Structure 1
Amino acid sequence: MDRVKGKVAFITGVGRGQGRSHAVRMAEEGADIIGIDVLCDIESVPYAMANSDDLDETAALIERTGQRAILTRADVRDRDAVSQAVSSGIEQLGRLDIVVANAGVAQGGAPLWMISSQEWRDIIDVNLTGVFNTLAATVPAIQASGNGGSIIVTASGAGLRSVQNLAAYNASKHGAIGLAQTLANELANQNIRVNAVCPGVVGTPMVTANEPMFKVFRPDLENPTLDDCIEIYQAIGPMGHPWVDPEDISNAVLFLASDEARYVTGIVMPVDQGSTNRVG
């Protein structure tokens, strides 16, 4: 316990899924949380986004640990909105030590030449520009605290390998890794560490409630369901589970945020049952 006690973490995409899991896990270990989520659907994204009730539930879960939660609606595509949320949170909590650039969306499956311009823009704007905006808005605040810090970027196994029919998503996650590793070099001499986490298949709505994604894995079926995909998901990772839980990613994020990883920077950490290491 208390692995990040007394620290303040800023987390994007905090309304549910991995973002909520990261927030609660850090709160359990003593951190106060500043968080944002877009709280509205994005037209080209084929599943529902978190809503205000989800955000309220995240806040309640954080506060149940005894930690403070400053959660607001903001879109990572809007750099000014992210900066305002960060500034407001720091005014109330006094500092910033940890950043988790987690917000991301997935597309429906289609070959590269069939991806619409709007779908391309939405994926890149959220998953790549959104990471850039988050980093740009938070680095000065961590520097101002003067105690070093830790930044974790959520990339993907698709940032290490490229999955057919997910060109925009692949590109965004490769780019996110590039941002993280560049920033790691830029901030190393200030004791601010920057790392990327690459989840494999994770049991969140992006995977379990995303019908177009089912078509990516079962193109042989006209209307595949989650049950139709389970065997494929199990085959992706050598360990053989259909997916990892959000908490499995949160434990990796917590390690990178904590002083246990004080000399770890610039790495890309897969949490994917070994799928990115698999040959063929």
Structure 2
Amino acid sequence: MSKLEGKVAVISGAARGQGRAHAVAMAREGATVVAFDICEPLKTPLHPGATIEQLDETVELVRKEGQECLSAKVDARDLTELEALAKRVMSTYGRIDILVINHGIWTIGESTWALDEASWQESIDVNLTGAWKVAKAFVPRIIDGQQGGSVILTASVNGLKAQPCAPAYTATKHGVIGLMKTLAWELGEHSIRVNAICPGAIATDMTQKGGTVEKSLEYTPRFFSTDRSLLPAGWVPPETVAKTAVFLASDDSEHITGVALPVDAGWTNY
């Protein structure tokens, strides 16, 4: 039997990158997938925004694994849209077992004090407030199912260690870990596990397109020119992170909650 047979997994930021990898990996293990994304560019990141065509491709990849996929163009900052989607999921499938709060943006500035207000605010709204809103919309549905479940938040190694020139990203990802720990306390009595994944150098559009890495290297060469990985991994494919997400979603992690788990080739040990 597959690890997630009969489960329904809701994934934000699912149009591409880690979100898509999570969707495909969970479908491969038997889960029905609900994939949503904003599918439009945001104002302040250098990296490009996801598109509706990318979300459609995620749907097709899930279906190739033999699983259903309900998709929606939804902004994680819009609680009304999120609650409407949660209602739609329940009317369609009658349950939610897994919630992966994965969406996010990465913005940078030459320094904390040089970062413009719009960049700071958009990061807070998307990465942190958006994570809370996704949880607010979907977690009560998992509780109502009375079957337990798993909530997984995508944080970052920058939720454990600071990145100079990325004050908003660093602050929001630290905040995501705090949100995860609070939810773990609150949801334990409902047999719902809550954990965070802290990815390192993952090869996605966020890191490989738009020039954010290159600009960061220009701003803080001391930080970015030092190889902190303990394994000869280079840029890690998002499918590696998805294996961790499947583990945390499955009964293999039945007694693991409140953990911020790095998937970083040892970077945070430096």
Q: TM-score, normalised by structure 1?
A: 0.93
Residue 239 of structure 2 is matched in structure 1 by 247
Amino-acid identity (%):
39
Partner of 1:106, secondary structure, is coil
Contact 1:128/1:175, CA 8 A, preserved across alignment: yes
- Distance in 2 (CA, whole Å) between partners of 1:124 and 1:219 is 22
What code does the residue aligned with 2:105 have? V
Distance apart, 1:220 and its partner CA: 8.0
Distance apart, 1:214 and its partner CA: 1.1
Tell whether 2:254 aligns with 1:262. Answer: yes
What code does the residue aligned with 1:270 have? P
Given the superposition, is the C-alpha separation of residues 115 and 17 from structure 1 closer, same or farther in structure 2, using an over 3 Å criterion?
same
Task: Work out which of the residue numbers 263, 266, 269 in structure 2 matches 1:274.
Answer: 266
Unaligned regions of 5+ residues in structure 1, if any? Answer: 222-230
Pairing of 1:134-213 with structure 2 (within 5 A): 134-213=134-213
Given the superposition, is the C-alpha separation of residues 180 and 16 from structure 1 closer, same or farther in structure 2, using an over 3 Å criterion?
same
Pairing of 1:109-148 with structure 2 (within 5 A): 109-148=109-148
Unaligned regions of 5+ residues in structure 2, if any? Answer: none
- Distance in 1 (CA, whole Å) between partners of 2:220 and 2:246 is 39
Contact 1:109/1:213, CA 8 A, preserved across alignment: no
CA displacement, residues 89-126 of structure 1 (integer Å, 9 cap, x when unaligned): 22112210000000000013420001111100111111
Given the superposition, is the C-alpha separation of residues 146 and 220 from structure 1 closer, same or farther in structure 2, using an over 3 Å criterion?
closer
- Distance in 2 (CA, whole Å) between partners of 1:237 and 1:79 is 38
Partner of 2:113, secondary structure, is helix
Residue 238 of structure 1 is matched in structure 2 by 230
- Distance in 2 (CA, whole Å) between partners of 1:94 and 1:188 is 22
CA displacement, residues 178-220 of structure 1 (integer Å, 9 cap, x when unaligned): 0000110111111000001000010001111131331212448
Partner of 1:45, secondary structure, is coil
What code does the residue aligned with 2:263 have? V
Given the superposition, is the C-alpha separation of residues 220 and 186 from structure 1 closer, same or farther in structure 2, using an over 3 Å criterion?
closer
Contact 2:198/2:261, CA 8 A, preserved across alignment: yes
Distance apart, 1:82 and its partner CA: 1.2
What code does the residue aligned with 2:243 have? N
Partner of 1:114, secondary structure, is coil
CA displacement, residues 29-57 of structure 1 (integer Å, 9 cap, x when unaligned): 00001121001111111121111110110
CA RMSD, Structure 1 to Structure 2 (Å) = 1.6
Partner of 2:189, secondary structure, is helix
- Distance in 2 (CA, whole Å) between partners of 1:102 and 1:220 is 27
- Distance in 2 (CA, whole Å) between partners of 1:32 and 1:220 is 43
Residue 19 of structure 1 is matched in structure 2 by 19
CA displacement, residues 239-268 of structure 1 (integer Å, 9 cap, x when unaligned): 133221101110001100000101110011
Distance apart, 1:236 and its partner CA: 2.9
- Distance in 2 (CA, whole Å) between partners of 1:220 and 1:93 is 48
Tell whether 2:58 aligns with 1:66. Answer: no
Partner of 2:81, secondary structure, is helix
Pairing of 1:1-40 with structure 2 (within 5 A): 2-40=2-40
Contact 2:153/2:197, CA 8 A, preserved across alignment: yes
Runs of 4+ with >6 A deviation = none
Distance apart, 1:167 and its partner CA: 0.4
What code does the residue aligned with 1:43 have? K
What code does the residue aligned with 2:117 have? S
